[in-house]
Chain A
Amino acid sequence: NAGVTQTPKFQVLKTGQSMTLQCAQDMNHNSMYWYRQDPGMGLRLIYYSASEGTTDKGEVPNGYNVSRLNKREFSLRLESAAPSQTSVYFCASSRDRGLDGYTFGSGTRLTVV
């Protein structure tokens, strides 16, 4: 019973490099989300997908793109990484647009040097 799986768990990038964070859920959830967590800032929503085939910007979308590949998978791409994107990234999913809460992945710790 995997729940929400994120890969990789750790990553170090150089400024200007690109990468894609992967997220997959096996609970048949409709909605998926990407958050970043920074000290003293709590969790801030980057992008979300309320249902398969839709994506919307959250609070801090600049510098990121997303793809809802199918119902299970929701990826986050950094096209040109910057040190300000150093953070812990969490993917989450929900059966019903967050009304019953989220299930979170274990996170990706990204460092941009």
Chain B
Amino acid sequence: GDSVTQMEGPVTLSEEAFLTINCTYTATGYPSLFWYVQYPGEGLQLLLKATKADDKGSNKGFEATYRKETTSFHLEKGSVQVSDSAVYFCALSRDDKIIFGKGTRLHILP
């Protein structure tokens, strides 16, 4: 069945470092792809999305490109801040619902 695999954390970086969180998916057809962020004690918030191959989603300095040939949707940010510390979830839409990866916890050190 369809699934999402993302790198295990925690990922610890210093402020202003470059961030990459890897995400690959298995699916038939062309699902929509998403990144969600969860801050401590809160629900998930949609960070960005892409609905077709080669689309780039972006928001708050984060970017991810829908790569059909490598079935990937890696999350990147050029310069992270302490406030980016959170759990990040990669996800895909399929048959009326969304399938989530297990999440990657990100710690940013000042």
CA distance A100 to B84 in the complex (A): 23
- Count A interface residues, CB 8 Å: 26
B102 at the A interface (CB under 8 A): yes
Flag whether B42 is at the interface (Cβ < 8 A): yes
A48-B97 in contact given A101-B46, A102-B46, A106-B42 (Cβ < 8 Å) = yes
Please tell me if B58 contacts chain A, counting CB pairs below 8 Å. Answer: no
Cα–Cα, bound, A40→B93 (Å): 21
Is A33 close to B, CB under 8 A?
yes
Interface centre among B45, B89, B93 (most CB of A within 10 A): B93
Contact of A97 with B by CB under 8 A: yes
Please determine whether A45 and B89 come into contact, CB atoms closer than 8 angstroms.
Answer: no
Do residues A42 and B96 form an inter-chain contact, with CB atoms below 8 A? no
Q: Mark B11-35, 1 if CB is under 8 A from A, else 0.
A: 0000000000000000000001010
CB within 8 A of A100: which of B49, B96, B102, B103?
A: B49
Contact A98 B98 (CB under 8 A): yes
Is A25 on the interface with B (CB-CB < 8 A)?
no
B43 at the interface (CB under 8 A from A): yes
Interface size on B, residues (CB 8 A): 20
In the bound complex, CA of A40 to CA of B96 (Å): 25
Q: Does B109 contact A (CB under 8 A)?
A: no
Pick the contact of B101: A42, A48, A99, A102 (CB < 8 A).
A42
Tell me if A42 and B43 are in contact (CB < 8 A).
no
Q: How far is the CB of A76 from chain B (nearest CB, A)?
A: 15
Interface positions of A from 27 to 74, Cβ below 8 Å from B: 31, 33, 35, 40-43, 45, 48, 50, 56, 58
Q: Which residues of B contact A (CB under 8 A)?
A: 32, 34, 36, 42-46, 49, 51, 89, 93, 96-103
Interface pairs A-B: 8 shortest CB-CB: A104-B43, A42-B102, A97-B96, A43-B100, A50-B96, A98-B93, A101-B46, A104-B44
